[in-house]
Structure 1
Amino acid sequence: MSDTNHALEARNITKRFGRVQALHGISLTLKPGEMLGILGDNGAGKSTLMKILSGYHAPTTGELLVKGEQVEFTSVDHARSFGIECVYQDLALVNTLSVYHNMFLNREVRHGASPFLNHKEMRERAAAALEDIGVNVPSVDEEVGMLSGGQRQAIAIARAVSSNARVLLLDEPLAAMGAREAGMIIALIERLKARGDVSLIMIAHNYAQTLDVADKVMMVQRGTCTFEGRSADTSVLELLDIVKREYRAAAQ
Structure 2
Amino acid sequence: MSLEIEFRGTTKSFGLVQVLHGVNFVLPAGKVLGLLGENGAGKSTLMKILAGFESATSGSLLVNGSALTFASSRDAEEQGIVLIHQEFSLAEDLTIAQNLFLGHEKTRGWGGLLLDEDTMRVEAQNAIAQVGLIADVNNRVKELIVAEKQLVEIARALLRKARLLIMDEPTATLTPTETERLFGLMHQLKSEGVTLVFISHKLDEVERMTDQVVVMRDGRCVAQQPTASLSRQQMANLMVGRELADLFPPKASPPAATTPALRVQGLSVPGWAQDVSFEIGPGEILGFAGLVGAGRTELFEGIMGLRTCSSATVEIHGKTQNIRNPRDAVRFGLTYLSEDRKGKGLHVHFGLRENLTLMALERYATPLLQPALEDQALAHAVDEFGIRTGSLHIKASSLSGGNQQKVALAKVLHPGPKVVVLDEPTRGVDVGAKRDIYLLIQKLASQGLAVVIISSELMELIGLCHRVAVMRAGRLQTVLESQQLNEKELIAHATGTH
Shorter chain as denominator, the TM-score bin is 0.7 to 0.9
1:234 correspondence with 2:230: yes
* Gapped regions of structure 2 (runs ≥ 5): 245-498
Deviations along 1:43-64, one digit per CA (max 9) or x if unpaired, are 1111111111111222122111
Deviations along 1:182-237, one digit per CA (max 9) or x if unpaired, are 334333323322332x2111222122211211111111110111121111111101
Asked if the contact 2:38/2:240 (under 8 Å) is kept, the reply is no
- Residue 27 of structure 1: CA displacement? 2.0
Q: Secondary structure of 2:83's partner?
A: strand
Q: Secondary structure of 1:9's partner?
A: strand
Structure showing greater Rg: 2
Aligned residue pairs, count: 243
Match of 1:32 among 25, 29, 32: 29
Match of 2:89 among 73, 88, 92: 92
Asked if the contact 1:14/1:22 (under 8 Å) is kept, the reply is yes
Q: TM-score, normalised by structure 1?
A: 0.83
Matches within 5 A, 1:117-132: 117-130=115-128
Q: Secondary structure of 1:56's partner?
A: coil
Asked if the contact 1:167/1:200 (under 8 Å) is kept, the reply is yes
Asked if the contact 1:104/1:122 (under 8 Å) is kept, the reply is yes
Asked which structure has the greater RCO (Cα within 8 Å, sep 6+), the reply is 1
The structure-2 alpha-carbon separation of the partners of 1:55 and 1:175, relative to structure 1 and needing over 3 Å to count, comes to same
The structure-2 alpha-carbon separation of the partners of 1:244 and 1:168, relative to structure 1 and needing over 3 Å to count, comes to closer
Match of 1:8 among 5, 8, 12: 5
- Which amino acid letter does the alignment assign opposite residue 121 of structure 1? T
Q: TM-score, normalised by structure 2?
A: 0.45
The structure-2 alpha-carbon separation of the partners of 1:78 and 1:181, relative to structure 1 and needing over 3 Å to count, comes to same
The structure-2 alpha-carbon separation of the partners of 1:206 and 1:193, relative to structure 1 and needing over 3 Å to count, comes to same
Between 1:23-32 and 1:216-225, the stretch displaced more is 23-32
* Gapped regions of structure 1 (runs ≥ 5): none
Asked if the contact 2:3/2:195 (under 8 Å) is kept, the reply is no
Asked if the contact 1:11/1:26 (under 8 Å) is kept, the reply is yes
Partners of 1:20 and 1:143 in 2: CA distance: 39
Partners of 2:187 and 2:148 in 1: CA distance: 16
Partners of 2:201 and 2:144 in 1: CA distance: 24
Between 1:168-177 and 1:229-238, the stretch displaced more is 168-177
Asked if the contact 2:30/2:195 (under 8 Å) is kept, the reply is yes
- Residue 21 of structure 1: CA displacement? 1.9
RMSD of aligned C-alpha atoms? 2.6
Partners of 2:75 and 2:18 in 1: CA distance: 25
Between 1:139-148 and 1:84-93, the stretch displaced more is 139-148
The equivalent of 2:151 in structure 1 is 154
Partners of 2:225 and 2:48 in 1: CA distance: 23
Matches within 5 A, 1:55-94: 55-94=52-91
Partners of 2:210 and 2:145 in 1: CA distance: 24
Identity of aligned residues (%): 35
- Residue 72 of structure 1: CA displacement? 1.3
Match of 1:203 among 168, 191, 199: 199
Partners of 1:20 and 1:59 in 2: CA distance: 14
1:17 correspondence with 2:24: no
Asked if the contact 1:6/1:29 (under 8 Å) is kept, the reply is no
The equivalent of 1:42 in structure 2 is 39
- Which amino acid letter does the alignment assign opposite residue 117 of structure 1? L
Matches within 5 A, 1:127-146: 127-130=125-128, 133=130, 135-146=132-143
Between 1:4-13 and 1:113-122, the stretch displaced more is 4-13
